Chains A and B, each alone.
Chain A
Amino acid sequence: MAEVSWGLATSHVPSIGAAMDHGQTGQPHWKPLFDGYAPAREWMAAHPPDVAVVIYNDHANAIGLDLVPTFAIGTAESYPVADEGWGRRPVPDVDGAPELSEHLVTELVDAGFDIATCHRLDVDHGLTVPLSVYCPDPGDAWPCAVVPLLVNVIQYPQPTAARCYALGRALGRAIRSFPPALKVAVFGTGGMSHQLAGSRAGLINTPFDRMFLDAIEHDPQRLAALSREDYIRQAGTEGIELIMWLVMRGALSPGVKRIHETYHVPASNTAAGLALFEDLG
């Protein structure tokens, strides 16, 4: 049977990808962030998964405003890297894991989650930047296959944090009921506090982010109990992306070991966080 081996929470800021793509990771502005990633990358490289389930949101690239699924899973054999308007990132296209996708869709629908399916999906920085956080130099191919799991965090009303945590619990059960003996990593992406538009642009709420980084390990129920208004008020309109970390945490066992964390302000206009957990089963 498949197992959930570890979970990674990480921001998916476009400029983090651009800094890697343009060889700027050693510059003074970026070095502290990438130095902060190093211990997590070293541990992950020593524990490579067969498949990564990446929970992320599209940013007006594959999902327009015509159809906005609350939850969706990619079911394709491969996913092209999106051109978001400034040329596609120079990283490999993403290999899918269609049999696992099919299993997850079936199990999650049976569990009461109404999942949309995407058979054609250009993946944007929301998915590729976390893959680069895991693997900075993929060469011609990423080191693992990927199942994209999309969450609407852009259009109001977003799903509640509680629903995301419950989806994660069901996702973990679904992964563990997949017969092949695969090692699966789960990525929760996006966040932390940030707001891009309006008079609160530039908002950073470090106390909230620190609380979240701690509670995602010890007390995810506390985070699941917050309303979407709580997230938007405290973490900003885009800080609500943090609800995707709860899908990841729900998929892990209650017992986890924190391998590493880092927190950096700013990456672009954003507080960038990373937390890596080993699943203790």
Chain B
Amino acid sequence: MTRARDDYPLDLAAVRRGYRLNRLCGSLADAANRRRFAEDEAAYCDAYGLTPAQKTAILTRDWIAMLDLGGSIFYTYKLAMVDKLSMQHLGGVFTGMTVEEFTAVMRSGGRKLG
């Protein structure tokens, strides 16, 4: 079996690495959990057993570090929605563009990459 060549395939190693971070982000689908998170983000991270690096990534909204630490976009996006940030905003972060630049590139047909 070969492996996919890409930046962040959610393979089983990434699932192990990011399990607690993803579980925290997934919990934010629940409105009561969103309130608890807003009241004390650091304590919420501790309750989910995040590593110090994962906790820092969440608290500082370091979206690239979250991916490096095993985060899945489908989970971290729920945190982005808490902050009312769009997928275009995240796309800009990942590619070094502003949200306006990234959105303009998408509207002109997307990024042509091999």
Residues of chain A whose beta carbon lies under 8 Å from any beta carbon of chain B: 29, 59-61, 64-65, 82-86, 154-157, 193, 195-206, 227-229, 232-233, 237, 265-266, 268-269, 271
Contact = CB atoms under 8 A, between A and B. Distances in A.
B81 A197 contact: no
A266 B9 contact: no
12 contacts: A60-B22, A83-B30, A85-B78, A155-B15, A156-B12, A197-B67, A203-B112, A203-B113, A237-B8, A237-B9, A265-B109, A269-B87
Contacts of B5: 229, 232-233
B47 interface: no
Contacts of B109: 204, 206, 265-266
A202 B110 CA distance: 6
Interface of B: 1-12, 15, 19, 22-23, 26, 28-31, 34, 67, 72-75, 77-78, 81-82, 87-88, 90-91, 94-95, 102, 105-107, 109-114
Given A60-B29, A201-B90, A203-B113, 11 more contacts: A60-B75, A155-B15, A157-B11, A195-B6, A196-B77, A196-B91, A228-B4, A232-B5, A266-B107, A266-B110, A268-B87
Contact of A200 (B3, B6, B105): B6
A204 B3 contact: no
A244 to B, nearest CB: 16
B94 A156 contact: no
A65 B22 contact: yes
Contacts of A86: 81
Given A156-B10, A197-B90, A203-B110, A229 B2 contact: yes
Contact of A232 (B6, B87, B113): B6
A227 B112 CA distance: 21
Contacts of A61: 29
A119 B2 CA distance: 35
A143 B72 CA distance: 35
Contacts of B22: 60, 65
Given A64-B23, A202-B111, A203-B110, A154 B10 contact: yes
B22 to A, nearest CB: 6
A176 B25 CA distance: 42
Contact of B81 (A85, A227, A266, A268): A85
A271 B110 contact: yes
A65 B14 CA distance: 11
Given A60-B75, A199-B94, A201-B95, A156 B111 contact: no
Contacts of A155: 10-12, 15
A58 to B, nearest CB: 9
Given A202-B110, A204-B111, A269-B106, A60 B78 contact: yes
B75 A232 contact: no
A65 B113 contact: no
Contacts of B12: 155-156
A164 to B, nearest CB: 16
